[in-house]
Amino acid sequence: MYYRQQKAKLIQRIRAERRFIQVLSGPRQTGKTTLAHQVAEALNIPHHYASADAPGVPDEIWIQTAWGYARALQNNNSQKPVLLILDEIQKIEKWSDVVKAEWDADTRFKRNVHLIILGSAPLLIQQGLTESLAGRFELIPVRPWSYIEMKTAFGWTLDQYIYYGGYPGSAVLITEPERWASYIRDSLIETTLSRDILLLNTVQKPALLRRLFQLGCEYSAQILSYQKMLGQLHDAGNTTTLAHYLQLLSGAGLMTGIEKYYGKKIMQRASSPKILALNTALISANNIIPLEVAKKRPEYWGRLVESAVGAHLINHPTHPTQRVYYWREGNDEVDFIVENQDELFAIEVKSGLKKIGTGLSAFLKKFPKARVIQVGGSEGMTLVDFFEKGV
């Protein structure tokens, strides 16, 4: 059994005086439910687990009923600590209002009921928290697993991590590539699209959102204007629709559009985004090119490597305020620009047939305080060092 670092943090907080709701938020298949059960087992106190991830959408009574079960575990001793775990709570309309009412009632009557909330739609969870639960929660992101975690838990090589990504539940299937790909497509991609996006958001063109996701997997780590996207997609509507759908995909942890870096300038018009799959498993499962074949295709493998580097920068920031961009002016381009507090990093990824151009030197002329990092190749930081140590 592998234990992520969030486990110790959660145990410490639950053992302390009841003060805040603990919120585990992150994409599907990143181990949130397993983590919550590990914590409950380690605490060795009465607990009740309830999941809203079932056919149909529960209503607010579901939350109140689960809470009632947890209170009953106290056996009329309000000081007895118990733990309530509510999974996939974002599916319930106005869930945060109900949670606020029940949590405040326990506070008022001094009932020692601790609460862990789990949600696989980070954008919807964040909206609920800020609307009703301000000052009552602590957020613990549960992101796709890093290379170090997959290496430690499953003995993966770097090439396996770049190809198969960081979903722990799929690790046992990689010896059967077709079965692995089906698992990623059916249990992760389709479930996220249908349950976390289409079911819980107003989407006028569901088929368009699905095609946009497929396009994003095809063009991951490439700058793609909204106009070019319109040319690739039928019945695409307008650029505003595409930007909104890309935001929904980002909010569900599937893919995002990285913005261009302008320094301190405030741009009135949004730049063409750099499309990035937030886990390389999404690319590999959609293309069905075996690992050994993928490694022999320099252009394709290079795109996987660059996507893995970008996903790592976003999924595993060294500081909560870290921001990731790209930069391009004319023919000069830098793969990733990272703003981390007062530091600025320009990162170029060398992989496949890709040659390092003049982008780094051009960027330094405009932003001389930036630190330049080349990842991969014979002269730069090795990929292993990058994934193990970061920037």
Residue type, 150: M
Task: For 330, list phi and psi in degrees, rounded to 5.
Answer: 60, -125
Q: Do residues 107 and 155 share a domain? A: no
Asked if residue 308 is part of any domain, the answer here is: yes
User: How far is residue 269's CA from residue 271's CA, in Å, rounded to a whole number?
Assistant: 6
CB 40 within 8 A of CB 11: no
Q: Print the domain residue range for 66.
A: 5-141
Residue 356 clears pLDDT 80, i.e. is over it: no
Q: Do residues 273 and 156 share a domain? A: yes
Q: Of residues 204 and 157, which shows the higher confidence score?
A: 157
Residue 113 clears pLDDT 70, i.e. is over it: yes
Q: Do residues 298 and 185 share a domain? A: yes
Write down the mean pLDDT value for the chain: 92
Choosing from 100, 124, 141, the residue where a domain stops is 141
Q: Do residues 230 and 121 share a domain? A: no
CB 330 within 8 A of CB 341: no
Residue 342 clears pLDDT 90, i.e. is over it: no
Q: What is the Cα Rg of the chain in Å?
A: 22
Asked if residue 380 is part of any domain, the answer here is: no
Using 50, 70 and 90 to split pLDDT, how confident is the model at 40? Answer: very high
Domains contained in the chain, number: 2
Q: Do residues 122 and 227 share a domain? A: no
CB 67 within 8 A of CB 209: no
Asked if residue 117 is part of any domain, the answer here is: yes
Q: Do residues 191 and 286 share a domain? A: yes
User: How far is residue 37's CA from residue 85's CA, in Å, rounded to a whole number?
Assistant: 9
Asked if residue 336 is part of any domain, the answer here is: no
Give the pLDDT of residue 200.
79
The pLDDT of 292-298, averaged and rounded, is 95
Strand 137-141 and strand 222-223: the pairing is unpaired
Q: Do residues 176 and 114 share a domain? A: no
Q: Do residues 159 and 299 share a domain? A: yes
Q: Among residues 24, 2, 27, which one has the least CA distance to residue 314?
A: 27
Q: Do residues 45 and 164 share a domain? A: no
CATH number at 35 reads 3.40.50.300
Residue 341 clears pLDDT 70, i.e. is over it: yes
Give the pLDDT of residue 355.
67
Using 50, 70 and 90 to split pLDDT, how confident is the model at 126? Answer: confident
Residue with tokens 């059967």: 176
Q: Do residues 152 and 122 share a domain? A: no
CB 307 within 8 A of CB 276: yes
Give the pLDDT of residue 122.
80
Give the pLDDT of residue 267.
62
Quick one: CA torsion of 345, 138, 256, 159, rounded to 10 degrees? 70
Asked if residue 324 is part of any domain, the answer here is: no
Choosing from 114, 141, 168, the residue where a domain stops is 141
Task: For 259, list phi and psi in degrees, rounded to 5.
Answer: -85, 160
Give the pLDDT of residue 202.
86
Q: Do residues 132 and 169 share a domain? A: no
The pLDDT of 140-145, averaged and rounded, is 95
Asked if residue 274 is part of any domain, the answer here is: yes
Residue type, 237: G
Residue 268 clears pLDDT 60, i.e. is over it: no
Burial class of 378 by CB neighbour count within 10 A (0 to 12, 13 to 18, 19+): exposed
Q: Do residues 165 and 308 share a domain? A: yes
Choosing from 82, 112, 141, the residue where a domain stops is 141
Asked if residue 170 is part of any domain, the answer here is: yes
Asked if residue 329 is part of any domain, the answer here is: no
Q: How many CA atoms lie within 13 A of 367 on its CB side?
A: 21
Residue 56 clears pLDDT 80, i.e. is over it: no
